[in-house]
Chain A
């Protein structure tokens, strides 16, 4: 009986997966990657992004996507297709993002997504790295008299997005402080902002980078402040489907290349002139030494293209996050050599 119910239920939703068949999957063991082949055939990278988060992935009036998450997809496109602009962006809500990835609608999810054990292990996803170390915080009105999370009292109402780790951290936090709170969870970030702005809730909680970005959308951004405390670890990074290890490696090393390039001082303007550098690590980065691209079926200039067309991590951060005044201070997102925790395995 259970089995027959199971069968019937499978039937109901099978159609969505059916549409997706023929894409992704496979490829285990051999050097062949179905996703890579399909991407080359289609001529663009299918990239899932947010519905608008300044600094991370945000579309301007003419529909051009920018942000550090967008740059991960651009890096992959530069490496695989030779042109960073060959990306098709799919804006996704928090709720849709994983289904879109597992069903093959997108091939890379670069949507400020927190890396957690259950997401990595349980639902057919693989996190390839971290492109932003974040933590959850709270925003309140400046005149509220709340200066720290210790000023929260029973009855406080908190707005947030549904379907995020934020919702769970919020509960853990208030429970540990033994505070009764009213959670109000919206599907879209824009509605959270509007509701908070109208006074429906006393505090708005999400990742601190998100708070900084969303604050710019409030009617009077200067009347609000982010509390100093960080209540959780939120390592945000790109995600791919499980089961295509070659594609997984391409995305991972596209991101790593950007970070490694910053570490060695290689940037978009000096990259090609460094081909005859004395440092073998730099020569490998710009494709003048070694055969690193062959490991995942790419030519040897894949990393050079990333650096030239997208830039290194520092350039990307400066352009999208620092210069836009979202988080001018890099904090933990500084290189390990400069006191941050950005540290990637060597490309050799």
Chain B
């Protein structure tokens, strides 16, 4: 071959393109190789591939479910139970981790020596112990520390805490849908009110007490449904039942299982340390001059934090905190160790074992976590954009 006549167009555009095309080609080849190999191996070992099993009867029960489920339902339904349980513990974890994280983060910057040191110790201890150990600690410590059912810790005769769980009264609604709509109506009207208030402020400089109006709407509208909408609420209080000489159980209320409590506790305590550090970094990242300027125009300490420091700090805090939310969600998969029926225990555990469909089930589980994480990312990116500096 005459290389002199072989003209390679090395304009800038192609220079960038060629390595990229090569990379993609290589990736495709690797993927094809893996696929064929897996298919061959599975074929050789007589393993079939398919998702038909999802509609089969699962024939195992699950301790704790947000939807109606028992073993006569399908594997697909068991998957849904696991997914909802994962979302539940992640949501609870994120909620408490955020509150605790922000509190501790601000606490670390406190002028008060005791508060600052306590916050520092908390962060240093809890972020440096592996999460799985913390989960075991809270679970088995809780199990050992809590009393047996018959000697439950009694909260005013309506709620009981023991080794089998925390029993709280069950809400029994009549006409719940009317009540629910009233809350939606309240939220919509609050949005309108705040828009109107903003317009008033921008055009006429009038300050409306938006906060109090919102609270009033949120309480008043649902309250009205009790008076005229025929909504009523009663409580079903858990009752102690004796099953045999020493075996007792509470029935009637809602049971929050100890697995959920300890997992949520461990996840939020652990993640809160990282969020606290993010918060501290965010606040420290705001220029000192900003605070001084705010103070010089007569804002109070609270106002400075709320109106000047926090809006700027949030821009620094949100992106790394998004990572922590993602970590928390993924870490919730450690639930399997303490029998909290999350998606890993129920689907990638029990269902996998009963069906033997490892490739199908693991890939569904991975895709599920991927979608969960991406959803959180999308939401946090949207929030981040909202908080970002708007050039005017």
> Which residue of chain B is the closest to A170 with respect to CB atoms?
B61
Partner of B354 from the list A18, A152, A163 (CB cut-off 8 Å) is A163
CB < 8 Å: which of B249, B341, B352 contacts A163?
A: B352
Interface digits, A158-171 against B, CB 8 Å rule (1 contact, 0 not)?
Answer: 01001110011011
Which positions 116-169 of chain B face chain A at CB distance < 8 Å? 140, 143-144, 148, 163-164
Chain-A contact segment, one of B192-200, B283-291, B323-331, B357-365: B357-365
The distance from the CB of B12 to the nearest CB of chain A, in whole angstroms, is: 34
Cβ–Cβ contact B63 & A9, under 8 A: no
In the complex, A25→B140 CA distance in Å? 44
Pick the contact of B363 from A9, A20, A143, A151 — CB < 8 Å?
A9
Taking the nearest CB of chain B, how far is it from the CB of A51, in angstroms?
A: 13
CB distance from A136 to the nearest CB of B (A): 14
Whether B359 lies near A155 (C-beta < 8 A) is: no
Q: Let me know if B143 and A143 touch, CB within 8 A.
A: no
In the complex, A214→B163 CA distance in Å? 21
With A95-B353, A162-B349, A171-B61 in contact, is A202–B38 under 8 Å at CB?
no
Q: Are A171 and B349 in contact (CB-based, < 8 A)?
A: no
Residue from B61, B245, B249 in contact with A145 in the complex, judged by beta carbons closer than 8 Å: B245
In this complex, the member of A152, A172, A195 whose beta carbon has the largest number of chain B beta carbons within 10 angstroms is A195
B35 touches A14 (CB 8 A): yes
Rounded to whole angstroms, the CA-CA distance of A199 and B47 in the bound complex is 41
- Report the separation of the CA atoms of residues A230 and B5 in the bound assembly, to the nearest whole angstrom: 85
User: A12-B363, A25-B41, A99-B358 known; A183 and B350 CB under 8 Å?
Assistant: no
Question: How many contacts A-B (CB < 8 Å)?
Answer: 176
A198 touches B163 (CB 8 A): yes
Asked if A199 and B163 make an inter-chain contact with CB atoms under 8 angstroms apart, the answer reads yes
Q: Is A17 in contact with B37, judged by CB distance below 8 angstroms?
A: yes
The smallest C-beta distance from A117 to any residue of chain B, in angstroms, reads 12
Interface check A220, CB cutoff 8 A: no
| A157-B164, A187-B345, A200-B258 known; A102-B47 Cβ under 8 A | yes
Assuming A14-B34, A200-B163, is B363 touching A186 (CB within 8 A)?
Answer: no
The stretch that binds A, out of B96-104, B272-280, B332-340, is B332-340
- Cα of A220 to Cα of B158 in the assembled complex, Å: 34
Whether B45 lies near A124 (C-beta < 8 A) is yes
A171 with B60: in contact, given A143-B245, A155-B243 (CB under 8 Å)?
yes
Task: Flag whether A62 is at the interface (Cβ < 8 A).
Answer: no
Q: Which of B63, B359, B362 contacts A183 (CB 8 A)?
A: B63
Contact-residue size bin, chain B (C-beta under 8 Å from the other chain): 35 or more
> Chain A 118-134 against B: per-residue CB contact (8 Å), 1 yes, 0 no?
11001110000000000
Q: How far is the CA of A175 from the CA of B243 in the complex (A)?
A: 18
Smallest CB–CB gap between A232 and chain B, Å?
13
Task: Report if A41 contacts B (CB, 8 A).
Answer: no
Of A123, A168, A198, the residue contacting B59 (CB under 8 A) is A168
The answer, yes or no, to whether B241 is at the interface (CB within 8 Å) is yes
Measured between beta carbons, the chain B residues less than 8 angstroms from A25 are: 41, 44-45
- In the complex, what distance in Å separates the CA atom of A143 from the CA atom of B63? 25
What's the tally of chain A residues with a CB closer than 8 Å to chain B?
66
Q: In the assembled complex, which residues on chain A have CB atoms less than 8 Å from the CB atom of B44?
A: 25-26, 243
B366 touches A12 (CB 8 A): yes
Asked if A277 is at the interface of the complex by the 8 Å CB criterion, the answer is no
**Known A-B contacts A162-B349, A202-B243; A194 and B140 likewise in contact (beta carbons under 8 Å):** yes
Contact status of A199 and B148, CB under 8 A, knowing A94-B353, A156-B249, A243-B45: yes
Residues of B within 8 A of A153 (CB): 243-244
Q: Give A94 to B60 CA distance when docked, in angstroms.
A: 16
Contacting A167 at CB < 8 Å: which of B39, B60, B366? B60
A151 to B337, CA, bound (A): 31
Do A157 and B362 have beta carbons less than 8 Å apart? Answer: no
CA distance A157 to B61 in the complex (A): 12
| Chain A positions 1-46 with a Cβ under 8 Å from a chain B Cβ | 6-7, 9-15, 17-18, 20-21, 24-26
In the assembled complex, the CB of A202 is this many whole angstroms from the nearest CB of chain B, namely: 5
Judge whether A13 and B38 touch: CB under 8 Å. yes
CB contact under 8 A between A187 and B247, given known A124-B45, A198-B163 = no
Residue of B nearest to A152 (CB): B243
Q: Given A198-B143, A200-B164, is A15 in contact with B356 using a C-beta cutoff of 8 Å?
A: no
**Interface presence of A59 (CB below 8 A):** no
Contact of A151 among B244, B350, B357, B359 (CB under 8 A): B244
Q: A171-B71, A185-B350 are in contact. Are A7 and B35 (CB under 8 A)?
A: yes
- Find chain B residues with CB under 8 A from A102 CB: 45, 47
- Of all chain B residues, the one with the shortest Cβ separation from A121 is B46
Nearest opposing residue in chain A for B242, CB measure: A153
B62 at the interface (CB under 8 A from A): yes
Q: A243 to B42: give the CA distance in the assembly, Å.
A: 12
Please give the residue numbers on chain B whose beta carbons come within 8 Å of chain A beta carbons, in ascending order. Answer: 31, 34-35, 37-42, 44-49, 59-63, 71, 140, 143-144, 148, 163-164, 241, 243-247, 249, 251, 258-259, 336-339, 341, 345, 349-350, 352-360, 362-363, 366
**20 A–B pairs (Cβ distance < 8 Å), ordered by A:** A9-B359, A17-B42, A18-B41, A24-B45, A25-B41, A95-B349, A119-B356, A122-B355, A123-B355, A124-B356, A145-B246, A162-B349, A163-B349, A167-B60, A175-B71, A186-B339, A195-B143, A198-B140, A199-B163, A243-B44
